Homo-oligomer: A and B are copies of this chain.
Amino acid sequence: MRYFREELDELQSRLLEMGGLVENAIHRSIATLVDRDEEQAQEVFRNEARINQMEIDIDDLAVRLIARHQPMAGDLRFLTAIIKINNDLERMGDLAINIVERAIVSMQQPSVKPLVDIPPMARMVESMVRRSLDAFVKRDAEVARSILLSDDAVDELRDNVIEELIGIMEQDPTTVRRALSLILITRSLERLADHATNIAEDVIFLVQGVDVRHHAEETS
């Protein structure tokens, strides 16, 4: 049984390592956009394969532990949470790649506007990701609940950014293609925030046994 505990710890460490890589990818994807720095982009591409491989390994290990040890309620809930969070992290890695790809295209054109709102939105999303993994490690439902609130703030920022970009496109149609890129990057940021929110909901379920999936509106 002591061996099982060590395996659970090992699994959590791996998940956190993967989370660190994903956080890093998100940070660099936005740096690519804001600083027009292609070096950052290369780093994101380099890490992608590693994130993908970690997802497969974590998944396999978690399912094997469930099958082998027939864990009781608490441990089973922990292992199920790992599988779900793993899945969210992998998709977040994909979203960082999407952002980087668009940022590289944007780089070759003049800026459509100073990127006033996207950096703070990105910082908020990064903080949500970090706090969601922190909440998981500390089994802290309070922190997890605060993430559900941040998600609403991110949605509001997204609406502002998109409205502003629509206005710019309407006034100067030569900006359409570039502004559309920024809109799609904004949508990717929003989806990153949604994944962090999923993780927070998994943490709440893990700690309190309350399933808040599909009820984010009511709990936030």
Contact = CB atoms under 8 A, between A and B. Distances in A.
A52 interface: yes
A123 interface: no
A26 interface: no
Contact of A76 (B52, B63, B170): B63
Contact of A173 (B63, B87, B171, B180): B171
Interface in A36-78: 49, 52-53, 55-56, 59, 63, 66-68, 70-71, 76
Nearest to A169: B176
Contacts of A66: 63, 66-67
Ranked nearest first, the 7 interchain pairs of A and B with the lowest CB-CB distance are A52-B214, A173-B173, A169-B176, A170-B173, A66-B66, A170-B176, A67-B70
Interface of A: 49, 52-53, 55-56, 59, 63, 66-68, 70-71, 76, 80, 83-84, 87, 166, 169-171, 173-174, 176-177, 180, 183-184, 187, 211, 213-214
